[in-house]
Amino acid sequence: MSDRASSDGPFTRWPGLLRLSLGVLLGPVVTLMNQQAIYAADTWACGHDAHATLHIIPFLALVVVVGTAWQSLRIWRWTDAQPEPRDEGVVFSRTRFLAVLGIAISVFCAVVIIAQWAGIGTFGACARA
């Protein structure tokens, strides 16, 4: 019984489950918030002639998404270092799958944020149709 508890690790209770969930969910949420914040701040930046301040929003969003990717990578490395349990190993398999999924989603969201950031650099703050 103690062998199984050690192989499941910290991902059977809420702090570990929260870390797994953030790796999967935080990237898309931050990406959508980035887009909304850029649109909302564009009017202000146009009125105040402060185009350079628009670059702060995607930078902060990219920092958060890279942080979630790093956290998911740490969890995946932890599962890689642990011996695979002989019995069912449902928690172990779920943890490994969600860690890889968190890495993939975070990398995709980072690419989307970089593309949104490129739009800020390409078009001026007052370039609207």
Residue 50 in any domain: the answer is: yes
Mean pLDDT for the stretch of residues 11-26: 76
Q: What pTM does this model have? A: 0.80
Q: List pLDDT tens digits, range 41-91.
A: 888 888 888 888 889 999 999 999 999 999 999 988 887 766 666 665 677
Residue 110 in any domain: the answer is: yes
Most confident among 12-16, 29-33, 89-93 (mean pLDDT): 29-33
Q: Look up residue 37 and give its two tokens.
A: 């914040």
Residue 11 in any domain: the answer is: no
Find out whether 13 and 91 touch, Cβ atoms under 8 Å: no
Question: Residue 77: which domain range?
Answer: 24-122
Q: Which three-class secondary structure state does DSSP give residue 111?
A: helix
Residue 51 in any domain: the answer is: yes
Residue 129 in any domain: the answer is: no
- The number of domains in the chain is 1
Residue 38 in any domain: the answer is: yes
pLDDT of residue 10: 65
Residue 9 in any domain: the answer is: no
* Helical spans, DSSP H, in 49-89: 56-81
Alpha-carbon distance 71 to 68, whole Å?
A: 5
Residue 127 in any domain: the answer is: no
Band of pLDDT at residue 9, cut at 50, 70 and 90? low
